[in-house]
Structure 1
Amino acid sequence: MEIKTGTIYNKTRQAFDDGFKICIHRGGTGSGKTYDNMLYLFSVAVTHPDLIITVVSESRPHLEIGAIRILSGICKPLNLWGKENWNISKSTWTSPTGTIIEFFSADRIDKALGARRDWLYGNEINSLKKDVWDELARRTENVIADFNPTAQFWVEDWAANYDKVLTIKSNYLDNPFLPDTEKNRIAKRASRDENFRRIHIDCEYGVTEGIIFSNWMQVDRMPEGNYIYGLDFGFVNDHTALVKTLETDDAFYVEELIYQTGMLNSHIINRLESLGIRKNYDEIIADSAEPKSIQEIHNAGFNIKPAVKGADSVRTGIDRLQSKPIYVTQRSTNLIKELRSYSWALDKDGNPTNKPIDMYNHGIDALRYSLNPKHKFSFAIR
Structure 2
Amino acid sequence: MLIEKEVNPSFEDFIFNWDYKFYFLVGGYGSSKSYHVALKLILKLLQEKRTALVVREVFDTIRDSCYSLLEEIVTDMGLDDRIKFTASPMQVKFPNGSKIIFKGMDKPSKLKSINNVSIVWIEECSEVKYAGFKELLGRLRHPSLSLHMILSTNPVSKDNWTYKHFFRNDKKKIFILDDEELYKKRIVITNKTYYHHSLADDNLFLPKSYIEQLDELKTYDPDLYRIARKGRFGVNGKRVLPQFEIAPHYEVLQAIGNIRNPIRRVGFDFGFEKSYNALIRMCIDDDKKILYIYWEYYKNQMTDDRTAVEISEFKDTQEQINADSAEPKTIKYYRQQGFNIRGAKKFQGSRLQNTKKVKRFKKIICSSNCTNTIAELKDLTYAVDKNGEIIEDEFNIDPHTFSSIWYGLDGYEVADIKEQKYDDSVYNKGRGLKNNVYHGRKGGTVF
State the TM-score bracket (shorter-chain normalisation): 0.5 to 0.7
Out of 204, 208, 213, the position equivalent to 1:185 is 213
Q: Once the 2 structures are TM-superposed, how far is the Cα of residue 85 of structure 1 from its aligned partner?
A: 1.6
Out of 131, 154, 162, the position equivalent to 1:155 is 162
Q: Once the 2 structures are TM-superposed, how far is the Cα of residue 97 of structure 1 from its aligned partner?
A: 1.8
- Kindly provide the CA deviation profile for residues 348-377 of structure 1, in whole angstroms up to 9, marking residues without a partner as x: xxxxx9589xxxxxxx89928959xxxxxx
Determine helix, strand or coil for the equivalent of 1:104: strand
- Kindly provide the CA deviation profile for residues 191-212 of structure 1, in whole angstroms up to 9, marking residues without a partner as x: 5543233223333223323332
Matched, 1:143 2:149: yes
- Aligned equivalents of 1:251, 1:103: Cα separation in 2: 40
- Kindly provide the CA deviation profile for residues 219-265 of structure 1, in whole angstroms up to 9, marking residues without a partner as x: xxxxxxxxxxxxx99999xx9978774422158999xxxx99779xx
Q: Once the 2 structures are TM-superposed, how far is the Cα of residue 111 of structure 1 from its aligned partner?
A: 1.9
- Aligned equivalents of 2:91, 2:267: Cα separation in 1: 34
Matched, 1:97 2:96: yes
- Aligned equivalents of 1:234, 1:43: Cα separation in 2: 52
TM-score (norm 2): 0.50
- Aligned equivalents of 2:258, 2:134: Cα separation in 1: 41
Show structure 1 runs of 5+ residues with no match.
Answer: 214-231, 264-279, 286-302, 304-325, 346-352, 357-363, 372-382
Out of 388, 393, 405, the position equivalent to 1:367 is 405
Q: Once the 2 structures are TM-superposed, how far is the Cα of residue 125 of structure 1 from its aligned partner?
A: 0.9
Q: Which amino acid aligns with 1:174?
A: D
Alignment match, 2:234:
206
Alignment match, 2:118:
118
Determine helix, strand or coil for the equivalent of 1:30: coil
Matched, 1:337 2:363: no
Q: Once the 2 structures are TM-superposed, how far is the Cα of residue 31 of structure 1 from its aligned partner?
A: 1.3
Q: Once the 2 structures are TM-superposed, how far is the Cα of residue 342 of structure 1 from its aligned partner?
A: 8.0
Determine helix, strand or coil for the equivalent of 1:367: helix
Alpha-carbon spacing, 1:125–1:84, altered in 2? closer, same or farther (3 Å): closer
Show structure 2 runs of 5+ residues with no match.
Answer: 141-146, 167-173, 177-189, 242-255, 289-316, 323-339, 365-376, 381-401, 410-447
- Aligned equivalents of 1:71, 1:156: Cα separation in 2: 27
Out of 195, 210, 221, the position equivalent to 1:167 is 195
Alpha-carbon spacing, 1:369–1:95, altered in 2? closer, same or farther (3 Å): closer
Q: Indicate the structure (1 or 2) with the bigger Cα radius of gyration.
A: 2
Matched, 1:86 2:85: yes
How many positions carry a matched residue from both structures?
Answer: 276
- Aligned equivalents of 1:240, 1:13: Cα separation in 2: 45
- Aligned equivalents of 1:73, 1:59: Cα separation in 2: 21
Alpha-carbon spacing, 1:134–1:235, altered in 2? closer, same or farther (3 Å): farther
- Kindly provide the CA deviation profile for residues 312-346 of structure 1, in whole angstroms up to 9, marking residues without a partner as x: xxxxxxxxxxxxxx96775799744345678999x
Alpha-carbon spacing, 1:327–1:96, altered in 2? closer, same or farther (3 Å): closer
What is the aligned-residue RMSD (CA, Å)? 4.6
Q: Once the 2 structures are TM-superposed, how far is the Cα of residue 168 of structure 1 from its aligned partner?
A: 1.6
Whether contact under 8 Å (1:62, 1:331) holds in the other structure is no
Alignment match, 2:224:
196
Q: Once the 2 structures are TM-superposed, how far is the Cα of residue 127 of structure 1 from its aligned partner?
A: 1.0
- Aligned equivalents of 1:89, 1:13: Cα separation in 2: 29
Determine helix, strand or coil for the equivalent of 1:107: coil
Q: Once the 2 structures are TM-superposed, how far is the Cα of residue 22 of structure 1 from its aligned partner?
A: 0.7
Whether contact under 8 Å (2:31, 2:200) holds in the other structure is yes
Alpha-carbon spacing, 1:190–1:46, altered in 2? closer, same or farther (3 Å): farther
Alignment match, 1:283:
320
Identical positions, percent: 18
Alignment match, 1:133:
133
Determine helix, strand or coil for the equivalent of 1:137: helix
Whether contact under 8 Å (1:8, 1:32) holds in the other structure is no
Alpha-carbon spacing, 1:233–1:182, altered in 2? closer, same or farther (3 Å): farther
Alpha-carbon spacing, 1:98–1:127, altered in 2? closer, same or farther (3 Å): same
Whether contact under 8 Å (1:8, 1:33) holds in the other structure is no
Q: Once the 2 structures are TM-superposed, how far is the Cα of residue 158 of structure 1 from its aligned partner?
A: 3.5
- Greater RCO (Cα-Cα under 8 Å, separation 6 or more): 2
Q: Which amino acid aligns with 1:128?
A: V
Q: Which amino acid aligns with 1:248?
A: F
Alpha-carbon spacing, 1:23–1:157, altered in 2? closer, same or farther (3 Å): same
